Amino acid sequence: MTFPTHDDRPGATAPTTAAAPGDTRRARRRALGGGVGGYFVDQFDIYVPVIALAPAMSYFVPRDLDASTRVIVAAFIFTATLLGRPIGAVIFGLLADRTGRRRSTIIAVAGIAVTTLLIALLPGHGAVGLWAVGLLIALRFLDGVFLGGEYTAAIPLAMEWARKDRRGLASGLITMTSPLALCVISLLTLGLLQIAPAGAPDSAYSTWGWRVPFVVGALLAVAMLVYFVRYVPESEGRAEQAAAQHVSPLRELFAGAHRRSLLQVFVLMTGIWTVLNVTVSVLPGLTSSAAGFSATQVTVVLAVGSLISAVTYPLAGMLSQVIGRRWFYVATGVLVVVASGGTVAVIGTATGLGGGSAAVLLCVAFVVGFIAFGPIAAYLTERFPGPMRASGYGIGYSLALVLPAFFAYYLLWLASLVGTALAPAALVVIGGVLIAVGALLGPETRDADMTAA
């Protein structure tokens, strides 16, 4: 027997017959599989420009461009994606709350596949001049819109199908794909650089090597598109709820009864994203300087740290199921302040740090800096009611990306207060405090009824 199909047209109603237990279990597995695969696609696509494009920037910008301008261009390519994600969360959150999670996910994943493939086909500066980097930035922004739409719809869909007592584990299984994606793209780029050396605009890597990860990303998105179309059902009763609701999710989140919920989530997520940005963007360079690591050695250590971190995500999700989401995040904030802040301070101030010690410290910082993402899918979806769950989750998750995206400027300000060596550690401490305070401002959500209208 197969589970009942749902008409996801606006205003359509779900069937009233209850699904058999076997059908429900199958639907839960498939929805969770969609959440896991979709989030991997999202995170793979996020890390591609940070890692795979860095050795090929001479393909997109003039070789005589000064170093500082190159850094600004590279940063803006990444920032363009971040700016697109909140917009995608608003657009696709409304679509998901009004017409269903499944339809919204399918449209977003299709958009990811198309934009990622178009990036892989871009010409370089030698062919079209500054249009090369302009098109790259524009496509990364559009890609960010679709990426924001994917997790805004797919994760609430997976969480609404998950059993209440297993939402923490389900969340960890979904979000663990973030460090796994970082590991995969790091190893893929490392392997490509061995067979297609980088350097000049006409080098093998600059000509075709960087395109491979983008083609892989597009193919992954196509695979997930087929999976959602063929296998993933809509949340039970969600079409009826969407048709019956008479309130605007955006009005409720920004000016209505749930604005405090959104503000509380914003504080928590701002802390989480701040810690992540320092850990991913600043810490590898600090470690390389302290221990004298080569680029290859740093990549290997990052891959190991990412794999270790991935294992902790489901464990963190299950721990939050035992002690509660609220106290999990309070404890995580304290742990970030003490362990991650201390580790970053040691790495930033050390001279002649041994390779083994540096690798261990970097792995510790990765594990502690990322652990907050374990239960985040469960916590944020539990935080908002069904009629605005997708919008609340997507906007809360994405809008908080904006302020931490300017972390480089905060580091300059902190450097004037505590010195350049301790500035990254100070910013991590601030992030940890925001996590703890954000958690304290919110209620416990572990027992939330996700089936309620």
| Predicted local distance difference test score (pLDDT) of residue 321 | 96
What is the token pair recorded at 280? 């991913």
| Predicted local distance difference test score (pLDDT) of residue 294 | 72
CA 111 to each of CA 139, 155, 344, 415: distance values in angstroms, whole numbers, following the listed order: 11, 17, 38, 41
Dump the DSSP string for 88-105: HHHHHHHHHHHH-HHHHH
| Predicted local distance difference test score (pLDDT) of residue 16 | 38
Q: Taking the mean position of all CA atoms in its chain, how far away is CA 418?
A: 30
| Predicted local distance difference test score (pLDDT) of residue 35 | 93
Hey, what domains does the chain have and what are their CATH numbers?
A: 21-441 (1.20.1250.20)
Q: Half-sphere exposure of 137 toward its Cβ, with a 13 Å CA cutoff? A: 17
Give the burial string for 430-444 (b: 16+ CB within 10 Å, else e): bbbbbbbbbbeebee
pTM: 0.85
Dump the DSSP string for 434-446: HHHHHHHHS---T
| Predicted local distance difference test score (pLDDT) of residue 453 | 57
| Predicted local distance difference test score (pLDDT) of residue 368 | 92
**Blockwise average pLDDT, block size 10, the chain, 453 residues:** 38 43 84 94 86 81 67 74 90 91 94 96 84 90 94 94 94 93 86 84 86 95 96 74 66 89 96 91 78 74 84 96 97 96 88 78 88 96 92 93 86 91 93 98 93 65
| Predicted local distance difference test score (pLDDT) of residue 138 | 93
Tell me what percent of the chain is helix, strand and coil, each rounded to the nearest 5: 80, 0, 20
